[in-house]
Structure 1
Amino acid sequence: MRVVFSLLIFALFSWGNTIFNGGLEIISIESDYAGELRVNDKSSLWLDHPKKDGVKVAFIPVSYYAKNDINITNSLNNQSSSMLLKLEQKSYKKESISVAPAKANPPKNVMKRIEKERDEATQIYRTFSPNLLVNSQFISPMNSFITSQYGNARVFNGSVKSYHGGVDYRAAIGQSVISANDGIVRIAKDRYYAGKSVVIDHGGGIYTQYYHLDRIDVKVGQKVLKGDKIGLSGATGRVSGPHLHFGVVVQNIQVDPLVFIEKFNSLF
C-alpha cells in the first residue's frame, strides 16, 4: 500500500499504517521537498534513494521496547506534513537455552569488559554517515535456514536475561559467512557475549552483525563487498551450540533483520 500526502509529496511505502515493535518503515519523498525530518520530535535523516535519482528516503526503526505510536513530520519553508504509524505490540515467544554458568551470570571480574564492549558498540551505532554505502539489495549471510527468530525472550539457565536481537542460522563450525552487502568493517574482535564478532557499516546508520564466529577474516576499517567472506561460523561467546547470529541495527535501534531486508530490498 502506498499512502501519498498532498503537502510536500510525502509518501510512505508499506502494507498499511501500522508497525510492530522491532519493525521498520521506509518513507520516500522527492528531493526538492525533503526538509527537516522529525520522528516523535527527534531529528532524523533523509538519504539519497539507492536506486532513483531525485528521491530521498528515510528509515524509521522501532525499538523492541516501543510503547507509543510513531509520529513523523517533514517541514520545509514554513509548511509541514505528517503521518502517524500506529504501533501494534507483537507477541514474541520464549526460548529456553542452556549455557555455561559464567555466560548466564558473569562473574564480577568480567563485568567491566562487558560494559566496555557494550559502550564501544553503542558509540559506533550512534554514528550515522550521511550517505548509503550500498546500491543493491541485501542478501543472507550464509546459505542455511533460520532456527531462531528475532524478538524471542531468551531464558538462559532458567532466568530471562534478554530478548533475541537478531536471527540465528543453523551452521556447523567452519562454514563460510559472507557480508550481506557492501560496507566498512567497524568491529572485528572476540567479545564476551557475542564471541568472535564482525560488525559492518553500510552507511546511513545501518549496520549488520555477525556473531559467534570461529574465525574472523577481516579487519577494522576494511572495505568489503556484498558476498565477500568475512569469517567462519562457530560456537564462541554465549551459545548452546554452533550457529550464526545475524543482526541489523538501524540508527542505534536493533530491528528484525528479516523485516529490514524485505523493506530495503523493495526499494529496487
Structure 2
Amino acid sequence: MRIFLLLFACTLIFAQDINLTKGQALFLNFEKQDLLSIQSNGKKINYFNHPKDQNTVTTIIAIPYKRPENKIIQARYKNNKTIEYKILYQEGNYQKERLQVAKSKVAPPKSVQARIKKEFQEANKIYQSYTSKALFNADFIMPLNSTITSDFGKARIFNNTLSSYHSGTDFKAAAGTPIYATNSGIVKIAKDRYYAGKSVVIDHGQGIFSQYYHLEEIKVKVGQSVKKGELIGLSGSSGRVTGPHLHFGILVNNTQVDPLDFIQKFNTLYQ
C-alpha cells in the first residue's frame, strides 16, 4: 500500500522540445478538461478558448528579440498530470538596413529626452495592464493592402549608427492612405510620439496589442472600442522616418513579434 501511494503521488509528465526563432510566436493547444493552469518558467500565463474546438484552449508563446531566453511551458492538470514543452530559441536570419534620418532622431536633444522617457513608460504601463478577456472573436486582417518595404527584425543603422532592430513591418503607403484596425479591441494610445509619430495602439485582450505608427492623422480616441476593419487613421511621415509609410506591429504578452508571422499562425485557428 505504501509503494502504491508513492507512485500515485508522482507527477505524470509529457515533455517535448520545440525550436522557436526569437521574435516569432508559437501557438500551443492543450486539453481544457481538468486544466488548472499554464505556466511559463514558473509564472502563470494567459490562455483562451480555441475558436473551433470547445474542448481545447490555446496559449501564445513568444521569444523576445532582445535578451532572448529558453522557456519551460507547463500545463498543470488535476490528478498531478503535467504536460511540458521546452522552448529553445534560435537567432533567425535577420538582415541589416541603413537609413538616413534627421540627426535629432538619432541623438535627441536634452529638451526632448524627458518626453521620450515619459512616452516609453506610458507604453510599458499599458502593455503590462492589458484586458484579461479576449476582445476579438474572429481572425486578424492586414491594416492595408500594400507592398512590404521593410521586414520585421532588421538591424537598423540610422546615420551609420546601429540604433535598434525593426520591431514591426513597414508597408508602402502614400500620405493619406486609409489604415484599418486589424481586429476588434479598445484604443489605448492615440497621440503624437517622438519616435513613432502619430500613433494608434489597440488592446485586443489576452495580452495582444496592435500598433500603427507614423500616421498623418488619427481617427480614434483613447478608450474607444473599435471593430475589425474600422478606419483608425491615415498614413503619413510623422516621427522618425525617411518618408511616408505605415509601421505595423504586434505585441504579445509584452513581447514584440513578427506581425505577419503572428497573423498567419493565429488565423489557422479559424480554419
Please give the per-residue CA displacement for 1:156-189, whole angstroms capped at 9, x wherever unaligned.
Answer: 1110111000000001100000000111111000
**Could you tell me which amino acid in structure 2 is paired with residue 236 of structure 1?**
S
Do residues 161 (structure 1) and 163 (structure 2) align?
A: yes
Please give the per-residue CA displacement for 1:49-90, whole angstroms capped at 9, x wherever unaligned.
Answer: 234323211111110025433221111233322012232211
Matched residue, 1:4 = none
Q: CA deviation at 1:137?
A: 1.1
Matched residue, 1:72 = 73
Matched residue, 1:111 = 113
Conserved 8 A contact 2:15-2:86: no
**Could you tell me which amino acid in structure 2 is paired with residue 42 of structure 1?**
K
Residues 1-268 of structure 1: pairs in structure 2 closer than 5 A: 17-77=18-78, 78-268=80-270
Give the Cα separation in 2 of the matches to 1:108 and 1:93.
Answer: 32
TM-score in terms of structure 1 length: 0.91
**Paired positions, count:** 258
Give the Cα separation in 2 of the matches to 1:115 and 1:23.
Answer: 27
Q: CA deviation at 1:47?
A: 1.6
Structure whose alpha-carbon radius of gyration is higher: 2
Give the Cα separation in 1 of the matches to 2:139 and 2:23.
Answer: 21
Give the Cα separation in 2 of the matches to 1:222 and 1:129.
Answer: 14
Conserved 8 A contact 2:217-2:236: yes
Conserved 8 A contact 1:51-1:135: no
Aligned-partner SS, 1:181: coil
Give the Cα separation in 2 of the matches to 1:72 and 1:232.
Answer: 40
Q: CA deviation at 1:11?
A: 11
**Could you tell me which amino acid in structure 1 is paired with residue 22 of structure 2?**
N
**Could you tell me which amino acid in structure 2 is paired with residue 111 of structure 1?**
Q
Conserved 8 A contact 2:199-2:212: yes
Q: Percent sequence identity over matched residues?
A: 47
Give the Cα separation in 2 of the matches to 1:252 and 1:86.
Answer: 19
**Could you tell me which amino acid in structure 2 is paired with residue 228 of structure 1?**
E
Conserved 8 A contact 1:17-1:85: yes
Structure 1 stretches of 5 or more lacking a match? 1-6
